[in-house]
Amino acid sequence: MPAQCNLIIDSCCELPREAWDQPGVFVLGLSFTFDGEEHIDDFFQAISAHDFYEAMRNGAAPSTSGASPREIERAFREAISAGVPAVYLAFSSGIDRKSTRLNSSHMTASR
C-alpha cells in the first residue's frame, strides 16, 4: 500500500526498525566520530548499543554531526515526488545548540 503521508526523520528519533522500514519513511542518518573514525547512526546496526556505550565507559568521547544538506535535499525531493504530504521530525536545535540540522533543513525545504 502506498504511503498516504511521508515521514522524514533523523536518526535521533529512535523509532523501532520496523517503523523506518515502511514505505514513505525517509531516515537522515546522523554521524558520530569515535577516535577519528566516523560512523553513521544506523540504529545500532553496524555497531551495537553495548559496544557504543562500552567505548564511552572506556573514555571515548564521541562527537556528532548532522545529515549533509545534500542528504536532506535528497530526502525532501524524494518525498515531494511522491505527491503526498510530508512531515519532518528532527532533533531539536534547542537540545544541541551547535546543531545546524534544522537550519539546513529549512534552507533546503525553501528551495
The pLDDT tens digits for 10-65 are: 888 777 878 888 889 998 888 888 888 888 888 888 888 899 999 999 998 888 88
- The CB-based long-range contact list for 16-19 (8 Å cut-off, 24+ gap) reads 17/43
Residue 42's pLDDT is what? Answer: 83
**Does the reported pTM lie above 0.75?**
no
Comparing CA positions, the residue from 110, 106, 102 lying closest to residue 10 is 102
Bridge partners of 10? 28
Gyration radius of the chain over CA positions: 15
pLDDT in tens, 39-52: 888 888 888 889 99
Q: Interhelix angle for 101-110 vs 69-81, to 10°?
A: 50
pLDDT at 103 over 80: no
